[in-house]
Amino acid sequence: MEKSQENKIADFLFEIGTMRKLPRMHQQMFLTQDLSDNIATHSYRVAMIAWFLAKMEKVDPYKTVMMAMLHDAGEIRSGDHNYVHKKYIKVYEDEIAEDQFGDLPFDDFLEMNKEYEKRVSKEAIVAKDADLIDQILLLKEYVQQGNTEAQIWLRGKGSLNKNIQYNSLKTVSGKKLGREIIYCKVSKWWENIWTSKNR
């Protein structure tokens, strides 16, 4: 029996919900267990970053944000892999995307996924920059918590030029934002709004 449009959407939404259960595997390299860092929380912040970068780069924010939201959806089926895992594991990303998005009643997700993976359009490039900037933010947060391994990844031997994520950024806006994140204070956002008294 053919599934209804609503049934296909419901199945997909349940699958997407499992992103909350998938830890990100860089935790192995950083010798940490961060229960707040999963594929869903990562994708959410990547989408927020993508919106700002899309506005700054003057590209379609809707398309860029959707690419950011979906960029790691395939990891629901393959799992996340850190740089050591990637040496030994082959992931059939095209097959996963086709199986995951191809049965949906609208082809937008599959087309956006293909465009994102090719990294030819400006929106795809901006969405990838957003992914990299989230990694810079996470490294900075781990450094703030005293993680010396994250410090090495963030700054290398004290030079911005050693940061892999920063050096991979393609857009002018991405590089400006990445630099700001590396050099700014993590807790600055709340310094002028805190109070010791309730209203």
Domain annotation covers residue 89? yes
Q: Is the pLDDT of residue 72 over 70?
A: yes
Here the CATH number for the domain that contains residue 142 is: 1.10.3210.10
What are the structure tokens assigned to 57, written together? 């780069």
pLDDT value at position 117? 96
pLDDT digits (tens, 9 = 90+) for 114-129: 999 999 999 999 999 9
Region 134-162 average pLDDT: 84
For the chain, give the secondary structure using H, E and C: CCCCHHHHHHHHHHHHHHHHHCECCHHHHCCCCCCCCEHHHHHHHHHHHHHHHHHHHCCCHHHHHHHHHHCCCCHHHHCCCCCCHHHHCCCCHHHHHHHHHCCCCCCHHHHHHHHHHHCCCHHHHHHHHHHHHHHHHHHHHHHHCCCHHHHHHHHCCCCHHHCHHHHHCCCHHHHHHHHHHHHCCHHHHHCCCCCCCCC
Total tally of structural domains belonging to the chain: 1
pLDDT(110) > 90: yes
pLDDT greater than 80 at residue 1:
no
194 belongs to a structural domain: no
Domain of 91? 5-186
Residue 160 clears pLDDT 70, i.e. is over it = no
Query: Could you tell me if residue 196 is inside a domain?
Result: no
Report percent pLDDT > 90 for the chain: 75
For the whole model, what pTM was predicted?
A: 0.92
